[in-house]
Amino acid sequence: MNILIHGSSIVGANLAKKLSEQGKNVFLLDDMPNQLKDLSEKYDIKTIFDDPLNPSFYKNFKTNIDYFIAVTQSDEKNLITSKFAKEYLNAGKTIARIRNQNLISAENQNLLIESNQYLDHIISPELEVANNIFEKIHMPGAIFSESLISDNFLIIGMQSSQIFKHHTFVEIKKFFKQNNICYLGHMTNEVEILKFKEIIDSNYLYLLVNKNFLNKMIKFFGYKDYVLNILLVGGGNIGHKLSQMIENDEQQINLKLLEKNIDKCNFLATSLNKTSVFCGDALDQSLYEEINLSKSDLVITVTDNDQINTILSIIAKKRGAKSVISVINNDSYSSFANDLGIDIMINPRELTTSRIIEKISEGSLLSYHSILRDKYFIYEVKYKNDLYEQIKKSKDIVHICSISDNSIILATDDHIPVNNDVLILLIQNIHAKSLEKIINDY
């Protein structure tokens, strides 16, 4: 598969890296020579230094392109280059990153695609992040959650250090079996462990669960949906969209939003109906009493500055906030986020990359998800007999379970996967390339 990516910033670079690791033939187009040079030395990709807005580039490009993906910060550039790719390159499919919130609203998204025949898919990292955070608001105890492509199924990471205060191991095992919950792995004192029998000392449990049983599972773990007071820091695209979602939530939530930019504050105050908007610097401690930081059930930091998000999350936790969610782009922060008291860390780059790969997965791969501090991957794969036979031969790939007829069936059961089943596979990140090669072959 030949893929041409326009944009070598955070999203484009990460997408090029991941697709090349999957064996795709990746071209990365940009007019930033230094950035392209660095990326060409790091990854197995072909970089192209040219003007993406020059139609002649597309007319003279000789390779057939299956997917053109435009992920720059400019909506206009992404739309124009998608049009060029379709018209002059005859690209099979086009995907454009769109940041304008009006264009990606539920009522306008389909209209945008229908009125522009050169556009096949649109992606909004900001919307993906807002949706992901909103999903976690009513998941107390969760440190991680990502939905599968298979309807109604979710991978969730739960704080588990308190579960044995309420239940015995036998009761937990029985509950998991009765409620169609599949164990994926756990963390104990910073160590990744894959043995269900050893969960008694676990700090975090990673599970595959049917969403219909999610609330029941959260209560079983001893958590209550207590979120009534939320402080949201950052009024950009993510903060604005998330505020709208929270305002429309079935549960009445007292939402405060803190933004530094006065123009954004004025816009937010007029566009939001139930949100208290405060204008000020998130690191100005004189504001904390006014916004009632210490009484917040949940503090969510979504500014475009990793350091501010991290620092304020630490301050919020130390001052009494029950839980914090922080948007952080820098991978180096993830290794010590929990040590600093950050309950949930959202990485927009990884989230966006995963969503784009889902859109271009024409073969067996449906989705992939990193768990256990990125040491392991969960792959969601369509069952094919030849593919399944190759997986069984591998010592590195673990077939955890199958999804069949809307139920989770453990690989240890007698069930033999059949057509229309989905395989859930676990593999260490260092061996992921071998699995992706098998998947690409089928």
What does residue 245 show for φ and ψ, rounded to 5 degrees? Answer: -65, -45
> Which residue's entry shows tokens 């305002």?
247
Average of per-residue pLDDT values in the chain: 90
Percent of the chain with pLDDT over 90: 62
pLDDT in tens, 263-310: 999 999 999 999 999 999 999 999 999 999 999 999 999 999 999 999
pLDDT reported for residue 161: 82
pLDDT reported for residue 432: 86
pLDDT in tens, 213-246: 998 999 998 888 777 899 999 999 999 999 999 9
Cα–Cα distance measured from residue 336 to residue 322, given in angstroms and rounded to the nearest whole number: 19
pLDDT in tens, 395-413: 999 999 999 999 999 998 7
pLDDT band (50, 70, 90) for residue 334: low
The predicted model gives 253-259 an average pLDDT of 95
The predicted model gives 9-13 an average pLDDT of 91
**CA nearest 181: which of 407, 379, 373?**
407
DSSP strand pairing (422-428 vs 376-382):
antiparallel
pLDDT reported for residue 237: 92
pLDDT reported for residue 318: 92
pLDDT reported for residue 312: 93
pLDDT at 362 over 70: no
pLDDT at 335 over 70: no
pLDDT at 160 over 80: yes
Cα–Cα distance measured from residue 50 to residue 352, given in angstroms and rounded to the nearest whole number: 25
Cα–Cα distance measured from residue 237 to residue 256, given in angstroms and rounded to the nearest whole number: 16
**Under 8 Å between Cβ of 68 and 90:** no
pLDDT in tens, 100-125: 878 877 677 777 777 788 999 999 98
pLDDT band (50, 70, 90) for residue 358: confident
Q: Which of 363 and 268 is assigned the larger pLDDT? A: 268
pLDDT at 331 over 80: no
pLDDT reported for residue 368: 86
What does residue 302 show for φ and ψ, rounded to 5 degrees? Answer: -130, 30
Cα–Cα distance measured from residue 3 to residue 21, given in angstroms and rounded to the nearest whole number: 13
Q: Which of 163 and 25 is assigned the larger pLDDT? A: 25
Q: Which tokens sit at 390?
A: 């190759």
DSSP strand pairing (93-97 vs 67-70):
parallel
pLDDT at 203 over 70: yes
Q: Which of 414 and 56 is assigned the larger pLDDT? A: 56
pLDDT reported for residue 23: 78
Residue type, 220: F
pLDDT at 91 over 90: yes
In SS3 terms, the chain reads as CEEEEECCCHHHHHHHHHHHHCCCEEEEEECCHHHHHHHHHHCCCEEEECCCCCHHHHHHCCCCCCEEEECCCCHHHHHHHHHHHHHHCCCCEEEEECCCCCCCCHHHHHHHHHCCCCCCEEECHHHHHHHHHHHHHCCCCEEEEEECCCCCEEEEEEECCCHHHCCCHHHHHHHHHHCCEEEEEEEECCEEECCHHHHHHCCEEEEEEEHHHHHHHHHHCCCCCCCCEEEEECCCHHHHHHHHHHHCCCCCCEEEEEECCHHHHHHHHHHCCCCEEEECCCCCHHHCCCCCHHHCCEEEECCCCHHHHHHHHHHHHHCCCCEEEEECCCHHHHCCCHHHCCCEEECHHHHHHHHHHHHHCCCCEEEEEEECCCCEEEEEEECCHHHHHHHHHCCCCEEEEEEECCEEEECCCCCCCCCCCEEEEEEEHHHHHHHHHHHHHC
Domains and CATH numbers, the chain: 2-123 (3.40.50.720), 129-220 (3.30.70.1450), 229-350 (3.40.50.720)
The predicted model gives 136-149 an average pLDDT of 88
pLDDT band (50, 70, 90) for residue 338: low
pLDDT reported for residue 336: 66
